[in-house]
Amino acid sequence: VAKSRGMNTWHWYEQERRPATQDEIILRHDLRLAMERNELELHYQPVIDAVSGSWRGVEALVRWHHPQRGMISPGVFIPLAEQTGQIIEVGRWVLRRACEDGMQRWREGHRVVPVAVNISTLQFRRRNFVEEVRAILAETGLPGHLLELEVTEGVLMENAQETIELMKQLRELGVTVSIDDFGTGYSSLRYLRDLPASKVKLDISFIRDILTNPDNMAIVQGIITMAHHMQLKVVAEGVETEAQRDDLIARGCDLLQGFLFSRALPVAELASLPTRFPDRS
Ligand code: C2E
Ligand code: MG
Ligand code: MG
Ligand code: MG
């Protein structure tokens, strides 16, 4: 199951098994070339401490500069890569590049904050995933505590016990795990209680109309209260307005991410952002 960003719809690729469109076949082929031609790039979006406004991390978000079509959104090509299995190769590239960039920034001495990397369920559940992470950390030199992995609730659905074990092994490397797009999946709250995760990221769809939709307001408040009870930090994604920010702060949200602060930027442009975003006015 993959959710395509921005459309707010669910595509049941597994169940559906519709034949790929001509366009998808071409894109898959192009994606294979994209790796060789260096067309993928990582951008980074800061994650801000809700109260102090200082940086607490950056999230790596992959971009594809297609030679003919221009920029293709990860919301389009990641689900495609998940269908074909290309996500394994793409994901490995992303993880390595994010660690290299993180190490580079660390060496240069600016804003030493963890880098968060999105990991597809397929990638996370591969037999040697922890070994892969260990190897990439060793090769790039990035300390494990400067790496965070973002997985969706999908990883919890198949085998919770195995997932818990995986997360423990990652923890031994210093690597923490966040649950992305929280509240959109089907996982039981019981899993959340048992998971050695460190953060939940509220899905953008809750934030978008948090001020006008009482249901979303209640969901957000409920998730924050519950997460804090379980010693988990809460990140709100998609914060675009000061009103949203203020509401989230009032509800006890710990970390904020969104266009209000910055879009995802090429690594070289991060240095031009303020080290601290203004406090509540
Ligand atoms: P996500 O991990 O939940 O990332 C958040 C998405 O929200 C990003 O979209 C980000 O640019 C966007 N966003 C952040 N702030 C705002 C805001 O204030 N307003 C709005 N409207 N959007 C905001 P992006 O970069 O297009 O990525 C979409 C999704 O693609 C990601 O959702 C993630 O699920 C997936 N993705 C991106 N990069 C990777 C990757 O390297 N590996 C994997 N497996 N998935 C990735
Ligand atoms: Mg994410
Ligand atoms: Mg998300
Ligand atoms: Mg997502």
Per residue in 107-116, pLDDT (tens digit) is 787 678 999 9
Ligand 1 atom nearest 240 alpha carbon: 18
Give the residue from 197, 42, 200 showing the smallest Cα distance to 115: 42
Q: How far is the CA of 168 from the centre of ligand 1 (A)?
A: 26
Task: Pick the residue whose CA is nearest to atom 22 on ligand 1.
Answer: 238
pTM: 0.92
Name the maximum alpha-carbon separation found in the chain: 53
Q: Is the CB of 94 under 6 A from ligand 1?
A: yes
- Asked if the interface predicted TM-score (ipTM) of this complex is over 0.95, the answer is yes
What's the CA gap between 48 and 131, in Å, rounded?
30
Phi, psi of 11 (to 5 degrees): -115, 120
Task: Pick the residue whose CA is nearest to atom 19 on ligand 1.
Answer: 238
Q: How far is the CA of 205 from the centre of ligand 2 (A)?
A: 13
Per residue in 211-241, pLDDT (tens digit) is 999 999 999 999 999 999 999 999 999 999 9
* Best residue for ligand 1 mutational test, from 237, 240, 267 (most atoms within 8 Å of Cβ): 237
Ligand 1 atom nearest 98 alpha carbon: 41
